[in-house]
Copies of this chain bind each other. A is one copy, B any other.
């Protein structure tokens, strides 16, 4: 088992009608002035906004709406300016992973005296060294951002997506109410399922390890998602299915699955570029790339693919047959959620995508990826090309 270190101080408050405790939790952090950050306004349509305002009676509230999917640097900088001006001492992120990721950036950028983009660009000596504390009210189970300290921020004029994070950026608390899933469009639910599924595969589908427990925990998430996906897609008000989806999404990226095992993340690295280029939903970029990546790296991954095929999909037969079957099952699962797994089904402008991504990766010095550092730039090009 590989050495590891793990910490996750976020308080998860999971279930129905838990929001009644919001005021109590904020009081524990001596909050006076809250920046209430949200997305496109769906929280008003579903009545959540009013519920929150009611429960924020004892606090001064500064409102910031309009954080978009793949949160934009320029949008977030407006929130930073507002937060500085109003001297907020807490941020409440209400939404899915985009809003929560955006708030992580805002929380670090408000007290930062330099140019925040430099931090995202990882320029020397540029770090967020303090952060405004924040909590979340999760509306969309998918990214696990409610239970981790990472974030992705986009800057579309540069076609750039950048990651940030660190110990400062764990939410103090996250309210996770599965009954909110009933208000979501099916497209977002499908995205959420795939996102949680792929977070798990990125940390599991490498090679057999001697961390027997971690592998079983990953398989438990995958099996649960497969079991509840058809139910929650057909009826998002099915609380049992919705609650399991939300629980899986949190567990898929709360820092646990990576403990003591190698991880891959190549699918995410490629996928981020597809979103930056074409605005394709994050989860859908993963569904496009993953099956092709597993085919291309088959020789390196086949033992674990076979284990995954057997334990998660119940496949039998020889190693190669189980391994190949596992890729087919995975793609069929994505398709069964209404998600197309070919780039050309998502954009007409797909030509040269492979070459562009290869070039970008080379420019960034990302020349050896995956759990064995064996995925090279020409592999990336071939994987993307085979996904057209």
A: residues with CB less than 8 A from B are 1-18, 178, 210-214, 216-217, 219-221, 223-224, 227-228, 239-240, 243-244, 247-248, 251, 259-260
Q: Residues of B contacting A227 with CB < 8 Å?
A: 212
Query: Are A213's CB and B11's CB within 8 A?
Result: no
> Which of A213, A214, A219, A251: most chain B Cβ within 10 A?
A213
**A22 → chain B closest CB, angstroms:** 13
Q: Residues of B contacting A9 with CB < 8 Å?
A: 7-9
Query: Are B16's CB and A240's CB within 8 A?
Result: no
Contact of A1 among B2, B6, B8, B240 (CB under 8 A): B240
- Tell me the complex Cα distance, A12–B255, Å: 12
Q: Which residue of B lies closest to A242 (CB)?
A: B1
- Tell me the complex Cα distance, A217–B217, Å: 6
Q: Residues of B contacting A6 with CB < 8 Å?
A: 11-12, 14
- Tell me the complex Cα distance, A11–B11, Å: 15
Contact of A220 among B16, B17, B178, B217 (CB under 8 A): B217
**A150 → chain B closest CB, angstroms:** 17
- Tell me the complex Cα distance, A9–B255, Å: 12
Given A210-B243, A243-B210, answer yes or no on A13-B8 (Cβ-Cβ < 8 Å): no
Given A1-B247, A14-B260, answer yes or no on A216-B223 (Cβ-Cβ < 8 Å): yes
Query: Are B251's CB and A213's CB within 8 A?
Result: yes
Q: Which residue of B lies closest to A2 (CB)?
A: B15
- Tell me the complex Cα distance, A220–B215, Å: 9
